[in-house]
């Protein structure tokens, strides 16, 4: 059993806190405002595939209240990361897990927290929070929970995540994985935001799907040209190594299915004025000016004034 403090009470924070508590760990969750009030009244309520669980976690206002935490898990949106970074750095926990894509803040996070105790991960679930505060989540078949295998505490975190019964992948090129993810999500998210009727609109248009496949394939070419391997390799296969007609048909199905409509689109829509513009701007900075179709797709969604 580990003593764990989870900072962030969104879908990711509540789900992993709940799954870890159900696995027998001692878990506190840091929540504030209305979400904290909801959790104190009703607790964490997780819905998945028709079943409901109510894991027992302590609700605290600050990380300092989660005394003796052996593992701190930071599960906040990218634009919120700087505000909790100092709090995580000040904790005495020997392991600090960043579950967000830190975008351009990766080095700063490691410097503040300490590279020897930082482990970057990425969640393998998607979902939403209902009006009553309960979480409806599902496992993303195409993406297990990803853990930086090269980190000092990577093996320990992978083992910890494995106790949740979620699939876990140990990634030896985590920096490249995070950069690939930024470009991929920027392209898919921009398609959701700029296509009439959003994700369902893409699922009904073979031509729109072809445009998106071409733009992301071009961006991956640019990433590789800048020395960044595409991780996982399956993304390089579907964006660039199979015929475009096949990839377009595949992504039409994904835009009409849970991968986009449940795992990606709700988060993109909820953060279209907060985190997502930063994701788009970061992706543009990664590919530079070598991907004009990708830039045309993503630029309208990037942070105002972005110049890559």
pLDDT digits (tens, 9 = 90+) for 103-151: 989 999 999 999 999 999 999 998 889 999 999 999 988 889 999 999 9
- Better-scored residue on pLDDT, 162 or 308: 162
pTM: 0.92
Q: What pLDDT is stored for residue 308 in this prediction?
A: 47
Please provide the distance, in angstroms rounded to a whole number, between the alpha carbons at the two ends of the chain. Answer: 46
Cα gap 174→22, rounded to integer Å: 28
3-state secondary structure 175-229: HHHHHHHHHHHHHHHHHHHHCCCHHHHHHCCHHHHHHHHHHHHHHHHHHHHCCCC
Beta bridge partners of 52: 47
* Residue 115: DSSP 8-state: G
Cα gap 128→117, rounded to integer Å: 30
pLDDT digits (tens, 9 = 90+) for 224-276: 999 999 999 999 999 999 999 999 999 999 999 988 998 899 999 999 999 99
Q: What pLDDT is stored for residue 306 in this prediction?
A: 53
Cβ pair 36, 59 in contact under 8 A? yes
Cα gap 121→129, rounded to integer Å: 22
Distance of CA 96 to the CA centre of its chain: 16
Tokens of 214: 């071409």
Whether the pLDDT of residue 290 is over 70: the answer is yes
């Amino acid at each position: 059993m580990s003593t764990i403090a989870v900072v962030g009470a969104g879908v990711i924070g509540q789900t992993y806190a709940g799954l870890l508590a159900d696995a027998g760990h001692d878990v506190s969750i840091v929540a504030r405002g209305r979400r904290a009030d909801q959790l104190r009244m009703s607790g964490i309520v997780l819905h998945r595939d028709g079943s409901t669980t109510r894991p027992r976690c302590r609700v605290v206002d600050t990380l300092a209240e989660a005394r003796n935490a052996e593992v701190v898990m930071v599960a906040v949106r990218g634009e919120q990361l700087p505000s909790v970074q100092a709090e995580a750095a000040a904790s005495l926990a020997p392991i600090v897990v960043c579950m967000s894509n830190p975008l351009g803040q990766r080095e700063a996070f490691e410097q503040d927290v300490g590279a020897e105790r930082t482990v970057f991960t990425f969640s393998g679930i998607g979902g939403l929070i209902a009006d009553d505060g309960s979480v409806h989540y599902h496992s993303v078949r195409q993406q297990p929970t990803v853990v930086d295998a090269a980190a000092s505490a990577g093996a320990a975190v992978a083992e910890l995540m494995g106790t949740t019964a979620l699939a876990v992948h140990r990634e030896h090129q985590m920096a490249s994985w995070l950069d690939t993810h930024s470009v991929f999500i920027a392209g898919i998210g921009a398609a959701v935001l700029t296509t009439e009727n959003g994700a369902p609109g893409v699922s009904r248009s073979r031509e729109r799907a072809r445009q998106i496949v071409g733009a992301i394939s071009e961006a991956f070419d640019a990433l590789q040209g800048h020395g960044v391997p595409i991780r996982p390799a399956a993304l390089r296969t579907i964006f660039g190594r199979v015929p475009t007609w096949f990839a377009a048909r595949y992504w039409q199905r994904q835009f009409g299915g849970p991968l986009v409509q449940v795992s990606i689109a709700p988060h993109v829509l909820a953060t279209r004025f907060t985190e997502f513009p930063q994701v788009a701007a970061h992706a543009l900075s990664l590919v530079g000016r070598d991907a004009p179709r990708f830039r045309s797709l993503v630029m309208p969604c990037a942070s105002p004034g972005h110049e890559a």
